[in-house]
Amino acid sequence: MSKIPRKPEEIFSEITGDYRKIFGEELISIILYGSAVGEDYIPGKSDINFLITLTDRGIEGLDSALETVRRWRKRNVAIPLFMTRSFLAGSQDSYPVEFLNMKRHYRVVTGEDVLAPLAFNPQHIRLQLERELRGKLLHLRSGYLVTEGKAGKIRDLIGASLTAFVSLFSALLALKKLEIPHGKRDIIAGAGAAFGFDAAVFLKCEEIRRKADHFSSAEVQTVFKDYLRGVGHLCEMIEQMDIQS
């Protein structure tokens, strides 16, 4: 069991059998989500992400899955998210952004569609957006000091942080009940247009993340400073946003 699947569908039967053998009737569902659902999946590079829902009794036996999780990681299957119904129901106000993004691209492999009933209060989305943006601003500032001002390390910092902002921009679009585009650049541009902030610096950061830019070391420094200002502006915008429940 070492071959990396060309398509996630190739392992559905096998992985379902493994977890049914472990959890039996305590297994409620297995759901594939993220980039592995659709055209973004790149064999050998993209992780394959699963949400596995168990009964309360099943979650108590999580240690029995240790070896199975370890074996599947060798095939680019990320450590699954193991949850119960009660955790899902109680997390709609705490982690609306994560579940919103999960619901954008998912496929039920076996069992119940536990994501379909989830609904989110716009106020909870706004509060998490503000919390996440402020936390990421602090992370970028401290991360910059670790780079010692070296352009290569700044590039790495930008690349590692940008994907999380794309998820937050998706949630922003959801607040206005707007269609969320598929590509990262379209999501960034769409959020900028919908909320009136300058998306240009985030698009430059996306170029850096994809290693598709030709910025000099000095230009990378400038992009990063604009990046910090852009995130700071977003924090202020979200704080002042008037959201109706």
Question: Which CATH number fits the domain that encloses residue 58?
Answer: 3.30.460.10
- CA–CA separation, 21 vs 189, rounded Å? 46
Looking at 60, 84, 111, which one is the last position of a domain? 111
Residue 206, pLDDT score: 95
What is the CB neighbour count within 10 angstroms for residue 121? 13
Looking at the structure, tell me whether residues 126 and 236 fall in a common domain.
yes
Looking at the structure, tell me whether residues 149 and 232 fall in a common domain.
yes
Number of domains in the chain: 2
As given in the structure block, the two tokens for residue 152 are 């290569």
Which backbone phi and psi does 53 adopt, to 5 degrees? -100, 130
Among positive and negative, which fits the CA dihedral 70, 75, 78, 82? Answer: negative
Residue 1, pLDDT score: 47
Looking at the structure, tell me whether residues 133 and 223 fall in a common domain.
yes
For strand 106-111 and strand 49-54, is the pairing parallel, antiparallel, or unpaired? unpaired
Looking at the structure, tell me whether residues 136 and 77 fall in a common domain.
no
Q: Is residue 219 a part of any domain in this protein?
A: yes
Is there a contact between 188 and 206 (Cβ–Cβ < 8 Å)? yes
In the chain, % helix, strand, coil (3-state, to 5) comes to 60, 10, 30
Alpha helices in 79-211 (DSSP H): 85-90, 96-104, 122-147, 151-175, 184-195, 200-209
Give the chain's residues under pLDDT 70.
Answer: 1-2, 244-245
Q: Is residue 190 a part of any domain in this protein?
A: yes
Looking at the structure, tell me whether residues 98 and 15 fall in a common domain.
yes
What range defines the domain where residue 100 resides? 8-111
Q: Is residue 128 a part of any domain in this protein?
A: yes
Looking at 83, 111, 139, which one is the last position of a domain? 111
Looking at the structure, tell me whether residues 157 and 207 fall in a common domain.
yes
Looking at the structure, tell me whether residues 21 and 68 fall in a common domain.
yes
Of 53, 51, 16, nearest to 33 (Cα)?
Answer: 51
Q: Is residue 98 a part of any domain in this protein?
A: yes
Residue 245, pLDDT score: 52
Residue 77, pLDDT score: 94
Of 39, 120, 45, 127, nearest to 78 (Cα)?
Answer: 45
Residue 39, pLDDT score: 74
Looking at 111, 139, 173, which one is the last position of a domain? 111
- CA–CA separation, 168 vs 129, rounded Å? 7
Looking at the structure, tell me whether residues 184 and 153 fall in a common domain.
yes
- CA–CA separation, 117 vs 85, rounded Å? 11
Q: Is residue 140 a part of any domain in this protein?
A: yes
